[in-house]
């Protein structure tokens, strides 16, 4: 039972991390599209993310 519990917790944690990363990417893309200044500052911090 303990092993299955750990697997379930791991899956939930992985899903949360994936959702968090996706949320950050969406924020960066929307900021890059809507505001030139924010887009430039985001480019300095995340060159790969905003290049797409």
Below-50 pLDDT ranges, the chain: 39, 50-52
Structure tokens belonging to residue 2: 């303990």
pLDDT of residue 52: 47
Considering its fold, how many domains does the chain have in total?
1
Neighbours of 27 (CB within 10 A): 13
Residue numbers of the domain that contains 47: 2-51
pLDDT of residue 6: 92
Question: With 0-12 CB in 10 A as exposed, 13-18 as middle and 19+ as buried, what is 49?
Answer: middle
Do the beta carbons of residue 41 and residue 35 sit within 8 Å?
no
pLDDT of residue 11: 94
pLDDT of residue 12: 93
Do the beta carbons of residue 42 and residue 48 sit within 8 Å?
no
Neighbours of 28 (CB within 10 A): 19
pTM above 0.85, yes or no: no
């Amino acid at each position: 039972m303990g092993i299955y519990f750990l697997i379930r917790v791991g899956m939930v944690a992985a899903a949360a991390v994936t959702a968090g990363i996706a949320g950050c990417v969406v924020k960066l893309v929307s900021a890059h599209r809507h505001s030139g200044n924010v887009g430039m500052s985001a480019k300095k911090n995340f060159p790969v993310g905003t290049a797409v």
